[in-house]
Each structure stands twice: as structure tokens, then as C-alpha cells.
Amino acid sequence: MNIGEASGASGVSAKMIRYYEQIGLIAPKGRTESNYRVYGEDEVHVLRFIKRARSLGFSLEETETLLKLWQDKSRTSAAVKDIATGHIADLERRIAEMQGMVKTLKHLAHCCGGDNRPDCPILDDLAGAGPVAGERSAAGSKSGAGANAARHART
Amino acid sequence: MNIGEASGASGVSAKMIRYYEQIGLIAPKGRTESNYRVYGEDEVHVLRFIKRARSLGFSLEETETLLKLWQDKSRTSAAVKDIATGHIADLERRIAEMQGMVKTLKHLAHCCGGDNRPDCPILDDLAGAGPVAGERSAAGSKSGAGANAARHART
DNA sequence: TGTAAGGCTTCCCATCATGGGAAGGTCAAG
DNA sequence: CTTGACCTTCCCATGATGGGAAGCCTTACA
């Protein structure tokens, strides 16, 4: 199987397959005489494993650990569960952060006329004009962590 | 005011202040003879504006637009509100994606013994062993979009 | 058998926002 | 006058992915 076929069979782009190889996550079964990568069913299975793990939000580093556990027949399910629960906590923390942003933004947008006039509570808030109608909680009170939290949070 | 003082007064790191200058988001009031950047209250105000926008999850591109609107006295609040509502929708989409992941992961973790034995429904799922007890919905059924969604979603 | 299309290879670059660090100039306090 | 704390610019790294160029290989078709 060529890289293109392996890509089609796994749903992982050829570009990514090469990248995963580069970072030591997977290796082709071999190479043809003309240096083409050759894959078998096992490799495709690994690629699908990676893809599924990524779709559940695991980082490539976590995915690598999970992959090793998968291939280690003497693993304990506790080790796997630890990674999963840690990841769940991470996701929930990020969800909470974003929900804080949404809460604040909805409040501000609600207070904003959205008309032809220039007066805008959203800009007032950003400019540090102080609370619009009530508190400046949500993402506001933890702006330090929030700023950090917002980092890389964009698709 | 030096860059260090402006950083302290705004909460934006000196490194970032220089970067924002590089991408044209802000400029110092001037330079000293020895080439040090000099800032005034206005610049600090802009930096705080940027920081607040970032803490609400706006990208630097969106922040730039908001900044221009803030400085444009003939803006309409509708233009600002549009950006905010678009951003809210974006956040909510990403929140929903992550919630899907959490839902699936919690189900899998719940089904996993977390003990000394190697049997693990989490690995079974990743390996594509099919649904553990019920469906493979949540992040699973939209795995294509999910994979994309997971991208850059990590702090 | 020649050729054209498409696939493969490697290599470099871009993204987005941020931090780290080196090499060297400047300033203020002791 | 030295020392330490600043400042300057420049380069590199992150994480996961895509884009594209230059050049080789394979397959199908005339």
C-alpha cells in the first residue's frame, strides 16, 4: 500500500502520515526500491487509532502514550484511565473558560444597541470603562489566567 | 515610560508589546536618544484594551478591527456587535465540540475498570473495536469535523 | 515506445500568539 | 567606575496542520 492508499484507508492525510513518522509515532512497513513508503493493514490500524484519539482531543503526546499502552499487553487499564480523566479535566477547564467569555460577551452584546449610533457598551468594556450594568465577572475577574487561557484557543 | 513600565501598567509583557508593534497594532509615542521605546498613558490604554479583548478570546485580527472601531468616532455599534456575535458563535461551536469529546470520554472512562488488568474499553474504542455499550456518537459520529476541531484547541 | 498525468519524494515556509535566550548597548545606584 | 538591571535586535521553539516547489517514478493510453 502506498501512502496515498494508506491515507484513504485511514482518513489521515499523507502529509500527516509523514509528519507522524518524523516524530516517531509510526513507521512504514518498509520502502520500495524507488523509495516509496509501503504500508500494511497494521499500520493503517495504527493510523486510525491516532485519528480517533485526535478526534477526542488528545494531543499527539498523549496519543503516543496511549499508543504505547495499546501495544503493551501488560498495561493496566488504570494507566489508560488516568490519561483519559486528566484529559477530561483539561477539556472541562477550557470549556469553563470559554463559557465565561461567552457569558460576558452575551451580556455586553445584549446591552449594545447594534444600530447606527457610535455608543457601544462592548467598546466601553474593552476600554476599561468599568462594568456596564452589573459585574465584570466571568472572564473578567480572572483576566490574567483568562489571557493565558485564551491562548491558542482558536481554530 | 519605558517598555518595562508600560508592561507593568498594562499587564502585557514587553515581548508582546514589541510583537504588537511589529504587526502594526500599536506604536510607541517615540524613542529616546538611545533608542528606547517611550510610552504615554494613551498607549497603555490601548495595551489594556488589547489585553481585555484577548482575555475575551478575540483573535489579534479581531482585536485590531475592534481597536480601529474604538478609535473611529463615526463607527456604528452594529459593526462592533457583529464582531462580538460572530465571536460568540465561534466560541459556542468550539464549546459544543469539546463537550462532545467530554461526553464520549466520560462514557468510556465510566466503562473502564481503572485497575491492574489490561482490558480497557478506552483503548478498544480508539482501536476501532466499535461501540462499548451504546452508540459511538458525540465526537465520534462527526469525527472528520472533530479532527479539525481538535486542531489548535490545546493550551 | 513515447508521452502525459498523476503520485511519490524531500525540503522549506506559513499559520497563531507567545516565550526563551543570546549578544550587545544603556542607565542608575552604590 | 563597576555592577546589575534594564533595553535593543535577532533567531528559534512551540503544536498540528496545510501549501507548494523541484524532481523522480509509475501507470495508462495513443
Final residue before a domain boundary, out of B33, B57, B81: B57
How far apart, in whole angstroms, are the C-alpha atoms of residue A72 and residue A155?
34
Pair B53, B101 in one domain = no
A87 CB neighbours strand D below 7 A:
no
Cβ-Cβ contacts under 8 Å for A98 (sequence gap 6 or more): A153, B57, B91, B94, B95
For residue B151, give the DSSP letter.
Answer: T
In a domain, A130, yes or no: yes
One pLDDT digit (tens) per residue for chain A, 155 residues: 999 999 999 999 999 999 999 999 999 999 999 999 999 999 999 999 999 999 999 999 999 999 999 999 999 999 999 999 999 999 999 999 999 999 999 999 999 999 999 999 999 999 986 554 444 444 333 333 333 333 333 33
In a domain, A77, yes or no: no
CA/C1' separation B116–C17 (Å): 42
In a domain, A64, yes or no: no
CA dihedral in degrees (A20, A24, A27, A31; nearest 10)? 100
Pair A96, A146 in one domain = yes
Which A residues in the span 115-144 are in contact with B, Cβ-Cβ below 8 Å? 115-120, 122-123, 125-128, 139-140, 143-144
CATH number at residue A14: 1.10.1660.10
In a domain, B78, yes or no: no
Any idea what the Cα angle at residue A101 is, between residues A111 and B26, rounded to 5°? 90
A36 CB neighbours strand C below 7 A:
yes
In a domain, A118, yes or no: yes
In a domain, B80, yes or no: no
In a domain, A11, yes or no: yes
Q: Residue B121: count other Cβ atoms within 10 Å of its Cβ.
A: 21
The tally of domains found in chain B comes to 2
Domain interval for residue B109: 93-150
| Mutation for testing the A interface, residue in B25, B80, B141 having most A CBs under 10 Å | B80
Q: What is the CB-side half-sphere exposure of residue A39 using CA atoms within 13 A?
A: 23
In a domain, B81, yes or no: no
Question: For residue A45, what is the nearest residue in chain B, using CA coordinates?
Answer: B127
Pair B53, B7 in one domain = yes
How far apart, in whole angstroms, are the C-alpha atoms of residue B82 and residue B58?
13
